[in-house]
Amino acid sequence: MTDPQQSPDDLDRALARGGVSGPEADAMWASIDATLDAQAGPASPSLWDRVRAWPLGVRLAAGLAPLAAALVFMVVGSEPNGFQPRGPDSSLPHLLATCGSAESPCHVGERVFLKVVGGARDQDVAVQVAGHDDGSLFAGRLGAGETTPLTQALVPEVSDTAAGITVTVRGPAGETQLHLEVRP
């Protein structure tokens, strides 16, 4: 049994079998916590408490700044002269041909088929062969990015071998030309 002269601390030490007893460990941790709290000083206010201390005008400006930045980006970014794609002017229509490049020239008597590819917006266009005033190959409305095959085919003649054939597309935004190489 227990000796009536033993204190509760002696009993705790005996139960801990030579180690630190529960009450002693609690007292040590309380002392460490008190020392750390004294060294840390007063607690700093939370972010929300600091923001609430700002004047109302500063809080409104900080809240509306992302909205203002997005609005400026939308207005400046939608300017028509801002971004320009590389390569030929995309607002102008252009021509595609079945032959005529230096690697694949057209041949005398071989039919050449053309397609007109619309520019960045709908527009009225006219396609004509340079040096021939006998009319247009195509005249009409061409949708934005629309590809229209021409119903008439060109047939190069022997006289076209020297200079080739130049086909012009005219629209309100300007004109583009396609030069076809012709070989006998």
Q: How far apart are the first and last CA of the chain?
A: 126
Chain-centre distance for alpha carbon 48: 35
| Mean pLDDT for the stretch of residues 9-15 | 75
Q: What is the dihedral of CA 155, 158, 159, 163, to 10 degrees?
A: 80
Q: pTM (2 decimals)?
A: 0.47
Per-residue pLDDT, 116: 81
Domain boundaries, the chain: 8-77, 94-183
Instruction: Indicate if the pLDDT at residue 135 is higher than 70.
Output: no
Range of lowest pLDDT (2-11, 15-24, 157-166): 2-11
Question: Do residues 151 and 129 lie in contact, with contact meaning Cβ atoms separated by under 8 Å?
Answer: no
Range of lowest pLDDT (25-34, 88-97, 175-184): 88-97
Per-residue pLDDT, 78: 44
CA 159 – CA 184 distance, rounded (Å): 10
Tens digit of each residue's pLDDT (9 = 90 or more) over 143-161: 777 877 777 777 888 887 7
Backbone dihedral angles phi then psi of residue 107, each to the nearest 5 degrees = -115, 150
Instruction: Indicate if the pLDDT at residue 41 is higher than 80.
Output: no
Range of lowest pLDDT (30-39, 128-137, 139-148): 128-137
In a 10 Å sphere around its CB, with 0-12 CB exposed, 13-18 middle and 19+ buried, how is residue 180 labelled?
A: buried
Q: Provide the pLDDT confidence category of residue 82 given band limits of 50, 70 and 90.
A: very low
Give 131-138 contacts, CB < 8 A, sequence gap 24+: 131/166, 137/167
Per-residue pLDDT, 83: 44
**CA distances in angstroms from 109 to 132, 149, 155, listed in the order given:** 18, 20, 6
| Mean pLDDT for the stretch of residues 33-60 | 78
| Mean pLDDT for the stretch of residues 89-97 | 74
Q: Where are the alpha helices (DSSP H) in the chain?
A: 8-15, 22-40, 47-52, 56-77, 160-163
Per-residue pLDDT, 81: 42
Instruction: Indicate if the pLDDT at residue 134 is higher than 70.
Output: no
Class of the CATH-defined domain 94-183: mainly beta
